[in-house]
Structure 1
């Protein structure tokens, strides 16, 4: 069937050539055009029909005829170069159109440049350097630079970072495509993690190449292959069950532009594929007529094809032929530089879009169509426009989005491959990772802060991720190496981020506080403090109390000295008596021994103030004795080294190595423990002087043993806890972003508080707290009261003794006599009989 079709196509080309040649003899032929096509491919078949339609349309509009000579290269670069020489030397063509591959284009460009014949390439991509090397080479199809940017935006929509590209080996034009794609991916925050080259010929090695794709999860696979090779790729991938494993397949325009030609059975191999292709404007006053004529002509010449609709390759060939014939019409010169200049000045709207050359290439397109293969066909789901984003239509009022998901139901990566996640079963701090094994039911459960946090993190990922936990009974370094050995896909637990482990795996950002601290027992600060009894009051308070005592004693002595012989005598005797009287007033009022009401009033107020002060003093001192203050037994690493002390750390962690290498502690002085309880017991029994813990572990330890231990010394900056993933894992950026979202939303803080609450000690001791001594400000009102009362009594006494005139003194004496008489009557009812003549200082009954 294929040979029969080719025979018909050859006869058709032969008729066209000779038909045009016959016209040359009877009419004015404006120019001769050559075309090098691959008649065995769908692209070459569309090119042939479209070029003929372009010449027919131009003849109808301008009444100008052009001779067309077509050669079949069969996709062989050497045949293409031979055909070019034949067309130039024998057929005297003035311009050549085609072919479709870069390998053919490079050889034909060399021939055309030597002969000074304009050559319009229909290849997908032509390197910039090629047009400088071959000045008669023109890129007549729009450059695909922006197509790579559209693909990068699709990748960005799922926030997947494991991007692989599959391209054809031996196609040097793919180098530029690869470079453009890499730049576009970098601009959206990702990069190519793998590049897979496929041999140009169908071979069994493709299966071996695709096996490499099984090593990752949630991959984005960008396919840039020729049409037949891409079909073979998808057929092989489906057979290997790679198509449905959560991978996102994206095809470039070289394949997507021909999806319309596939039948249902072929499309079934491509379920979920997303394609990007150039957008055909479909100006109906031009395209409508072309569409119907193309289908009719194409079906008559290629009736074995499934679909007869024209694609972007047909419109580009139509426009290339139009460019040539229109430029020939505008010049009387037969080819060469004059024709090339006319072609470069072309400026009109063609079927494929605006026709305008920028240098030797057409301006790149800025709008692309997005398709999604579903079921037995495909859907045109929307568009991507540079600078605007994705939209469902190109109407002036269309809304744009930065995500392809807004175009509707698009295939999403599901990451169906379940991750194998290792969890340390030797964790000392079970609050972070606890492996619970129920041997009776043969069930293992996993709990803890790290387990809960990873669950919340996975919920924040933009794709579904399934995983299983596996207990690992070994050291943390060995657990990290299991990721390197591909026994586990990740590790979740209290794994500290240290540089030596980066040799085998990568870490997320830390989800706990970072650092290493020293925890030691505490000792009492108050033990052996001789002057503790002075602590309740400040020095100024003690001075003020003594001043008030002396002052009140002086006032009483001054008022009572004329009534009491014991208060008279030598100065030394009077002074000691006054001091004794002042201090005795703190403990006994003795109001009935005082003769003057003035002294009695002063003493009553002072006794009231003294009672309050003594009670407050007693309470404050008792509080200090009951609530002891503590301080660490060791406050520095240097103290441990000087005392050659034994220290402890977690068994199986990195700490033993760090204590030796970084802190300089002898290996003989380091003991490893398996639990928090063993740490605490060793510290209490003084088997070790200190224990070194990560900050997250120290929080748990001090929350549980808050009364006997305290953190001491500086915090040594280390990595903190993080999740472990393979180096270059595509999941790592997404997990890091999810952790940031959890932290910023407060979920991380809530999880940590919930964990610490279960171990929280109610009577937490703050070693840095100091009891505040009481100052005079707390008693200023009392001091003013007693001082003011005593001063007032003293002034009244002085005034009454010095300034009262005799009549007033008589009156005063009469008042005092009445008071004494009242007192004597009162004593008659007293249980005790006092000698009125006794001295007020005589306390004997």
Structure 2
């Protein structure tokens, strides 16, 4: 019921003081400046908790502000201070009533908490007395309810964004917030923190409300936190309660390695005043505090010097005499009221308007009000408690992020990496992960799908002896290797699950399982229930179809062993070689002579018979013999190569899809996400989609044409084609979906560590080894995918062709030179050309150069034995 405390105080103060208010109104008809006329000076009231460090600093700072105003303006202001012990709202309300009715104050400075302010503001509004509050957070509706309320402290809601930025930088995902019970400022702070964390991908795991008194309840809450696995604590408490918290946490060994403590402004802005005992209890704490320009302001230097002297004399029990942000804010608020009083001839609303028109640079920054509120704080300092004091790490400012300095020449930083190393509780050199494995060593309940279509990834087998289930497969092996890479021991138990993969993921959301290990596809619709690790398999969906041979009914297959250029070159070289042999041997063989048509046919016959027969006949000239030897060698190589290539084309299986358009119906693995994808993305009708439970069932359906194609995820397709590489093939595009991953609850603290460990396994090559071993165990290897044996081109035989053509050319040149040398000695060039043309019809024209070694024309017996080339097959 603590949220109704302000209402209770409000009703109480109205009932108690309403009769007095009527009497006071009667007295307000007098001159409001009568104290000035009588020489007493203008009276300004203040309500503080003089027992707290904040109250002490505020008191000294306000008194100094009044003295400085009098010294500069020669106008005396009287400060009447009343104490609200332990910030009791009722005492604050009574003090406000007394200041207004008896002391006739023009305005009231303070108090510090919203509970006090809400009651004091009611009293001030009834009497038209401005209330200049130091409360941390004032609701937006307060100005409408209490028009004389002015907030003179900077709104601290922006510091929640600074805390969220710290959480983001260190990659923490879940935090625990410890706040003070019955503290109304938390109603503003906690929603702001939750929204800021959500923007950076983090969240509040739990809220821990600590009662303002009672160490036993504080110890119970810390014991609960000690047993919990989360270790990031954001502390938003009053200073006395925060000091108790850290003292107990140190005694319970919660200020050691693995813990992270972040404090908000109400605590951190007073860290300069902590004694050695308090500092020792907070080693490693990171704090966010309001920033005000201490070193940059000469005004603050003077204030700082005088404040230390006065504070040490009035409060010798305090160990540190330095002023903090609360002192600076109190000095600025008192100065604003003093200036407004000096400019006012009347109190009440006119004084309020003068206060709201304040515009000057004070100790805490610029003093300017908007809608009765001081501008929000936009710059915060990040500190780290270490040793006997603290270290200033850097700054965070709204819109700029982290910076090493304020107003310096260095460029803005987008992270805390330029701040230097952070000293963490316990002094580790590494950044705490923010959580640890549960201290109760309760094993994780890990769900494993038992209905996997391809059990190479995950399968469950029952032991015939004891009936216990054992789990194996690539996914199981990868998970075990991943756990080995974790920097801590993570106990677990596998539990089988027989159902769809969607329902298995939903079990994470309902807390039945702590994780899922198996061939679970990463798809968007499952993210509403859980989160996934990085994919450990290739992502994609492809189509599998039956195949048919490409060589069926190919009428021109016999031409495929050689390219067109190769065929043309073979024909040309044969005609050329045949021409050379025919020309040289025609004088010795009557069958090579005759009519022009007969000689052309004989030439073509002689050119190509050698290509298909390697049995050369007896030749009469050494030139033709030389040509024929080389020619026969080239023909041998070409014919054997042609035969081998054609045989390869006929025997090697070449496959192509056995369909011409998108096939229907199609199959998919039962229980997978593929069904929804086929309907929503590829627009298959429900009656055109059929599930199957095993690779064998899928293969049989494809053979029997019960389905025209099957859509499989890429990892499954590799296994299927490895088993049935002769019958089926993949076709079409790869649809970029899926990929297998392990499943964890949303915002699970395990997820970053598991991802990191899995990357180590993948980069070590172990995952590739698992995949290779899995595919190697399949009985059928992958089919060739290069489209068949390639045709041979002239580039493979150019040396042979040059050798053969060159030899024939040499023989031809030598023969022509021998025949026509005598003609060259007696004839002109035109006569020679005429003689050559006559030579084709009269072989006896070679009488000028025939040698005895070539022919035996003198012997009549030799004429019967003239050699001739027989037909060759």
Normalised by the size of structure 1, how large is the TM-score? 0.72
CA contact (8 A) 2:111 2:117 kept: yes
Give 1:610 shift.
2.5
- Determine the C-alpha separation between the residues in 2 that align with 1:329 and 1:724: 69
CA contact (8 A) 1:245 1:415 kept: no
Say whether 1:474 aligns with 2:497.
yes
Partner of 1:408: 422
Deviates more, 1:278-287 or 1:53-62: 53-62
Deviates more, 1:76-85 or 1:204-213: 204-213
Say whether 1:287 aligns with 2:304.
yes
Partner of 1:672: 693
Change (3 A) 1:546 1:216: farther
Partner of 1:108: 120
1:517-556 equivalences under 5 Å are 517-519=542-544, 524-526=549-551, 531-539=556-564, 541-542=566-567, 545-546=570-571, 549=574, 553=578
Partner of 1:485: 510
CA contact (8 A) 1:648 1:690 kept: no
Partner of 1:770: 788
Partner of 2:152: 140
- Determine the C-alpha separation between the residues in 2 that align with 1:511 and 1:401: 31
Say whether 1:803 aligns with 2:839.
no
Give 1:85 shift.
4.3
Give 1:125 shift.
2.3
Partner of 1:297: 314
Change (3 A) 1:479 1:232: farther
CA contact (8 A) 1:451 1:493 kept: no
Match of 2:654 among 588, 605, 630: 630
1:421-570 equivalences under 5 Å are 422=446, 424=448, 426=450, 448=474, 467-475=490-498, 476-477=501-502, 479-498=504-523, 501-508=526-533, 510-519=535-544, 524-526=549-551, 531-539=556-564, 541-542=566-567, 545-546=570-571, 549=574, 553=578, 563-567=588-592
- Determine the C-alpha separation between the residues in 1 that align with 2:421 and 2:305: 27
CA contact (8 A) 2:541 2:713 kept: yes
Give 1:659 shift.
7.7
Change (3 A) 1:348 1:225: same
Give 1:32 shift.
0.6
Match of 2:264 among 241, 249, 252: 252
- Determine the C-alpha separation between the residues in 2 that align with 1:571 and 1:325: 133
Q: Deviations over 1:767-825 (max 9, x none)?
A: 2433222345655644754775687689779968952899xx99953742522468999
Match of 1:321 among 331, 334, 350: 334
Partner of 2:46: 35
Change (3 A) 1:454 1:327: farther
- Determine the C-alpha separation between the residues in 2 that align with 1:381 and 1:455: 43
Partner of 2:99: 87
- Determine the C-alpha separation between the residues in 1 that align with 2:82 and 2:271: 26
Give 1:534 shift.
3.0
Give 1:510 shift.
3.6
Q: Deviations over 1:263-306 (max 9, x none)?
A: 8998898776533233573855432442343244245xxx7x99
Partner of 2:643: 618
- Determine the C-alpha separation between the residues in 1 that align with 2:127 and 2:151: 18
CA contact (8 A) 1:55 1:66 kept: yes
Change (3 A) 1:190 1:791: same
Give 1:719 shift.
1.6
Give 1:731 shift.
6.2
- Determine the C-alpha separation between the residues in 2 that align with 1:89 and 1:600: 141
Change (3 A) 1:699 1:668: closer
The DSSP-based 3-state class of the residue aligned with 1:142 is coil
The DSSP-based 3-state class of the residue aligned with 2:45 is strand
The DSSP-based 3-state class of the residue aligned with 1:615 is helix
Q: Deviations over 1:479-529 (max 9, x none)?
A: 423422324433344321245544532334544332223456766544665
- Determine the C-alpha separation between the residues in 2 that align with 1:207 and 1:597: 117
CA contact (8 A) 2:566 2:793 kept: yes
CA contact (8 A) 2:49 2:84 kept: yes
Q: Deviations over 1:144-184 (max 9, x none)?
A: 25533432332233122324655567766555545654665
- Determine the C-alpha separation between the residues in 2 that align with 1:369 and 1:308: 20
CA contact (8 A) 2:482 2:754 kept: no
The DSSP-based 3-state class of the residue aligned with 1:422 is strand
Say whether 1:721 aligns with 2:721.
no
Change (3 A) 1:558 1:665: farther
Change (3 A) 1:796 1:575: same
Q: Deviations over 1:416-443 (max 9, x none)?
A: 1348373637567787669999999x99
Q: Deviations over 1:219-256 (max 9, x none)?
A: 64434344566678779999999888956442322233
1:663-812 equivalences under 5 Å are 670-673=691-694, 693-699=712-718, 702=721, 710-729=729-748, 753-758=768-773, 765-776=783-794, 779=797, 781-782=801-802, 784-785=805-806, 788=809, 803=835
CA contact (8 A) 1:81 1:107 kept: yes
* Number of equivalences: 789
Normalised by the size of structure 2, how large is the TM-score? 0.70
Match of 2:847 among 798, 813, 817: 813
Partner of 2:11: none
Give 1:100 shift.
1.2
The DSSP-based 3-state class of the residue aligned with 2:521 is coil
- Determine the C-alpha separation between the residues in 2 that align with 1:131 and 1:69: 25
The DSSP-based 3-state class of the residue aligned with 1:29 is coil
CA contact (8 A) 2:60 2:307 kept: no
Match of 1:420 among 414, 425, 444: 444
Say whether 1:67 aligns with 2:78.
yes
Partner of 2:131: 119
Partner of 1:153: 165
Structure 1 portions without partners, runs of 5+: 1-23, 826-832
The DSSP-based 3-state class of the residue aligned with 1:356 is strand
The DSSP-based 3-state class of the residue aligned with 1:291 is helix
Change (3 A) 1:777 1:151: closer
Give 1:97 shift.
0.6
The DSSP-based 3-state class of the residue aligned with 1:723 is strand
1:210-249 equivalences under 5 Å are 218=230, 220-227=232-239, 248-249=260-261
CA contact (8 A) 2:475 2:517 kept: no
